[in-house]
């Protein structure tokens, strides 16, 4: 039997990975609806970690700066007065995550996807 020698995985983890991203985005949605800023923040960190395999250094820096700003607000003494502002920043960051996921081809299929083959006839 031939030995499998390569840096690539013998299995494609893409579908499972995209399911994990989907689950994390659902948690963002639920925590936003519940106005639970702590859980929303944690869910967004998870989305970002999953997205980070596709981001470059400049994008990473932008995301980390946004998370730092939100962390400061969450840890401030007047966090309850800042709740609407925190909600706004979390919302903007989630939108940024979703747009980046789409730009990186990790969210919705592109028109070159085989699912759209009928449209290209």
Are the CB atoms for 70 and 94 separated by under 8 Å? Answer: no
Q: Angle CA(56)–CA(59)–CA(11) in degrees, nearest 5?
A: 45
Domain boundaries, the chain: 23-105
In this prediction, residue 121 carries a pLDDT of: 44
pLDDT digit string (tens) for 62-112?
999 999 999 999 999 999 999 999 999 999 999 999 999 999 888 776 666
Question: Nearest-CA neighbor of 91 among 73, 61, 70, 108?
Answer: 70
User: How far is residue 4 CA from its own chain's centroid?
Assistant: 33
């Amino acid at each position: 039997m031939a030995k499998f020698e390569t840096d690539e995985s013998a299995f494609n983890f893409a579908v499972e990975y995209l399911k994990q991203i989907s689950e994390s985005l659902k948690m963002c949605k639920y925590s936003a609806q519940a106005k639970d800023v702590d859980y929303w923040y944690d869910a967004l960190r998870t989305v970002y970690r999953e997205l980070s395999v596709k981001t470059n250094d400049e994008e990473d820096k932008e995301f980390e700066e946004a998370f730092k700003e939100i962390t400061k607000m969450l840890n401030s003494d007047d966090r309850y007065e800042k709740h609407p502002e925190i909600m706004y920043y979390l919302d903007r960051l989630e939108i940024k995550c979703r747009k980046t996921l789409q730009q990186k081809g990790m969210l919705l299929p592109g028109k070159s996807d085989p699912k759209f083959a009928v449209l290209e006839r």
